[in-house]
Structure 1
Amino acid sequence: MQKNIDPAEGITTVKILPGEFYVTKDNERIETILGSCISACVRDPIAGVGGMNHFMLPVDKSNNRGTELSDANRYGNYAMENLVNALLSQGAKRERLEFKLFGGGRIMSSMTNVGWYNIGFAFDYIYTEGFKIVSQDIGDIYPRKVLYYPITGRVRVRRLNAMHNQSLADEENRYINKIESKPVEGDVELF
């Protein structure tokens, strides 16, 4: 996670990578770049708290457990629960949470369609938990840059050109190979 001040907007910007999430009550912007990954932007407008996650794969089906939380967040089932739990610990109420979903693009035709599995997981999770989706930009063939302003709920999405696809696909492939060989570590309270 990287924090800096955006000179154009004069706002603190937090950049998150796959396996990360960030929650804030401050007037900040959270951003990420997505290929087949999914980011959920979630907020409670009454409590004034919101956050974003970024996950690469839908569900961890192994029984490996450990202590490093960021490794577990590479999977949607951990990333969603950890984001929701962090929001609740900052005063959010489950019944007021608003979800916005982004990503899940098939950026390379030669890649497996992990984006669709991620999208399916995200919708299943939100439906099962009784949350509501207020907007989305998912699927298709584009990588995306997502800028999220949790306090206001504003999201800006830029669909990136195809020329960015190969480098993003290479990065995703490296990340998938790395995480598939590393055991999941972390603890999540499921409720």
Structure 2
Amino acid sequence: MPMLTDLGRDPMTIRHNVLQGEFEVSRDPHLVLTTVLGSCIACCLFDPVAKVGGMNHFLLASPPNGMNGLGDDARRYGLYAMELLVNEMIKQGAVRATMRAHLYGGANLHSGMRAIGTENARFAEGFLKADSIQLVRSDTGGVQARRLDLQPATGRVRCRSVQGDFPSIQAARVPVPSGDVELF
């Protein structure tokens, strides 16, 4: 997949943001898929023979022990996200043997915390290897967020580091039930 320098400057360009748990596959030459990644991973696939490409965005490599990851939460996990992307590529004419992959994200933004980004990147690399999909570029790890753009019809990609401080997200307090009254 070639790197982009002027992606999105065409007035006919349609931009679609791929959020956590989403994926999109297209041949539309005017479409640019975009996302912002911290510890999440985005896999960009392109088949130069079928001229189709796509992107996913997953939050975690796998569900915590004891959880099966099924239901509405399944789309947050790598296995589900990767399977959906690959299967949709195949439905649109791509073949595993000619698909090319790029991986982005997987940063470890907060020191002292579990290296979720590293776990995500390792999972994605292992998935691609097991599925015999060639990984041609990987920009994962580090401590900075990334902004990613993919033109799926051509496989052109642009990845930039996002500079600046990001406010930390605090966990919401869950009310503790006490009898018939809930305390907030």
Common fold by TM > 0.5 = yes
CA RMSD, aligned part only? 2.2
1:44 correspondence with 2:50: no
Cα distance, 1:64–1:118 mapped onto 2, change above 3 Å? closer
Give 1:140 deviation, angstroms: 0.7
1:55 correspondence with 2:39: no
Give 1:64 deviation, angstroms: 5.5
Deviations 1:27-70, CA, capped at 9 Å, x for gaps = 1110000000000000111111110000010013523633x4xx
Residue 65 of structure 1 corresponds to 70
More helix by share: 1
Residue 106 of structure 1 corresponds to 108
For residue 80 of structure 1, what is the amino acid of its counterpart?
A: M
Show structure 2 runs of 5+ residues with no match. 1-6, 174-184
User: Following the alignment from structure 1 to structure 2, what is the Cα–Cα distance between the partners of residues 142 and 26?
Assistant: 31
Cα distance, 1:63–1:26 mapped onto 2, change above 3 Å? same
Residue 85 of structure 1 corresponds to 87
SS at match of 2:120: helix
For residue 157 of structure 1, what is the amino acid of its counterpart?
A: C
Identity within the alignment, %:
38
Higher gyration radius (CA): 2
Residue 183 of structure 1 corresponds to none
1:29 correspondence with 2:32: yes
User: Following the alignment from structure 1 to structure 2, what is the Cα–Cα distance between the partners of residues 65 and 160?
Assistant: 33
Q: How many residues align?
A: 163
Show structure 1 runs of 5+ residues with no match. 1-5, 178-191
Give 1:25 deviation, angstroms: 1.2
Which of 158, 161, 166 aligns to 2:160? It is 158
